Amino acid sequence: MDKKIIFSAIQPTGTFTLGNYLGALQNWVSLQDEYNCCYSIANMHALTVRQQAKDLRANTLNAYALLLAVGVDPQKSIAFIQSHVKCHAELNWVLSCYTQFGELSRMTQFKDKSARHPENVNAGLFTYPVLMAGDILLYQADFVPVGIDQKQHLELARNIAQRFNGIYGDVFTVPDGYYPKLTAKVMSLQDPTKKMSKSDDNPKSYITILDPPETIVKKIKSAVTDSEALVAYREGKDGVNNLMSIYSAVTGRTLEQITEEFAGHGYGDFKQKVGDALAESLRPIRERYAQLMKDRAYLEECYRDGARKAEGVSQRTLDKVYKKIGFLAR
């Protein structure tokens, strides 16, 4: 039987946080054997926020290198940069004519972002979920691993696909979300009731996957916990819970095993172990990334090859769409 198809994408926002890694990227890597995976650097989506050209260019390459560094295998999966495949822009236009203004107005991310940045409420910010729907539908994806923040966008992609299929027959696979049971939701180290985020003003609140070992240990040591001096996963112990789930994610140990391991130990000891284990588990990624960044030719070869493969798949879908909607063939 043919493998099912997975599509996902990540925006090139400088380096990725531990949250991006444990919550998404690590999972992308592990899906590669069981599924045909397509992973994209969503640099077109990144344009909805004002960017310095040279930063966007550098961040796109860095993000692509990180994708490979964490273990996305360009032989097994299609790893490409969104703007390299023109079908994305083209399908975006078509789908925008099958998406209602009212639907886009209801997107909570649009409402949040436009409220937070009233100085740049551009049309792209508004139609962003249509571009995202196109990304997914071009590859006829069966499953889309996304965080809950993208769930509403994925739901819209399903609605667009169903609507289009309702008019023209089965053109698109209707994608399902893929929400793995095991991925850790990584919280801020300084305010563990909030998600870990790079846009946090306090750099001590987040760890990036390229942080050097000393920095990682230092940040974990200064993580907010509580005054109970008890390593246990419980309601109200958000700081400790967060460190426990990070430790669990990097060592594979269960929460019970961790509780046992640290019975009778203070937080100092616990934090040292978490910091060391984390720094060690990110070491191969850091090393592989440094290696890749020294080999620009190899990276170029990979993203060109990825773009060619992505184009092959997506052009087929786009051709079908153009035919169905009545665009005269050239």
Alpha-carbon Rg for the chain in angstroms: 21
| 52-59: long-range contacts, CB 8 A cutoff, minimum separation 24 | 56/12, 59/12, 59/13, 59/14
11/208 with CB nearer ligand TRP: 11
Identify the three-state secondary structure at position 73: coil
Judged by CB under 6 A, the residue of 5, 7, 140, 173 near ligand TRP is 7
42/125 with CB nearer ligand TRP: 42
- The distance of closest approach from Cβ of residue 202 to ligand TRP in the complex, given in angstroms and rounded to an integer, is 22
Q: Which residues are catalytic?
A: 113, 195, 198
132/223 with CB nearer ligand TRP: 132
- Site string (33-72) toward ligand TRP, x via CB under 6 A: ---------x--x---------------------------
Determine the interface stretch with ligand TRP among 7-15, 58-66, 70-78, 230-238 (rule: CB under 6 A): 7-15
- The distance of closest approach from Cβ of residue 125 to ligand TRP in the complex, given in angstroms and rounded to an integer, is 12
- The distance of closest approach from Cβ of residue 135 to ligand TRP in the complex, given in angstroms and rounded to an integer, is 4
CA atoms within 13 A on the CB side of 251: 19
- The distance of closest approach from Cβ of residue 49 to ligand TRP in the complex, given in angstroms and rounded to an integer, is 11
Determine the interface stretch with ligand TRP among 1-9, 176-184, 205-213, 275-283 (rule: CB under 6 A): 1-9
User: How far is residue 67's CA from residue 311's CA, in Å, rounded to a whole number?
Assistant: 19
135/238 with CB nearer ligand TRP: 135
- State both tokens at 294: 């020294």
User: How far is residue 160's CA from residue 169's CA, in Å, rounded to a whole number?
Assistant: 13
> Is the distance from CB of 153 to CB of 132 less than 8 angstroms?
yes
- State both tokens at 215: 């920095």
150/173 with CB nearer ligand TRP: 150
- The distance of closest approach from Cβ of residue 36 to ligand TRP in the complex, given in angstroms and rounded to an integer, is 15
150/241 with CB nearer ligand TRP: 150
Q: In what order do the strands lie in the sheet with 36-41?
A: 78-81, 36-41, 5-10, 143-145, 176-178
> Which residue from 95, 129, 96 is spatially nearest to 111, judged by alpha carbons?
129
Phi and psi angles of residue 73, each rounded to the nearest 5 degrees, phi first: -100, 110
Judged by CB under 6 A, the residue of 59, 77, 127, 150 near ligand TRP is 150
Contact status: 250 vs ligand TRP (CB under 6 A) = no
Contact status: 132 vs ligand TRP (CB under 6 A) = yes
Determine the interface stretch with ligand TRP among 143-151, 165-173, 211-219, 233-241 (rule: CB under 6 A): 143-151
43/188 with CB nearer ligand TRP: 43
Contact status: 310 vs ligand TRP (CB under 6 A) = no
> Which residue from 109, 53, 62, 96 is spatially nearest to 81, judged by alpha carbons?
62
Q: How many CB atoms lie within 10 A of CB 125?
A: 19
Binding-site size for ligand TRP (CB under 6 A) equals 13
> Which residue from 220, 231, 240, 197 is spatially nearest to 282, judged by alpha carbons?
220
> Is the distance from CB of 156 to CB of 24 less than 8 angstroms?
no
Judged by CB under 6 A, the residue of 12, 43, 87, 135 near ligand TRP is 135
User: How far is residue 47's CA from residue 42's CA, in Å, rounded to a whole number?
Assistant: 9
Q: Which residues contact 225 (CB under 8 A, 6 or more apart)?
A: 237, 239, 240, 243, 267
Q: Which residues bind ligand TRP (CB under 6 A)?
A: 7-11, 42, 45, 132, 135-136, 144, 146, 150
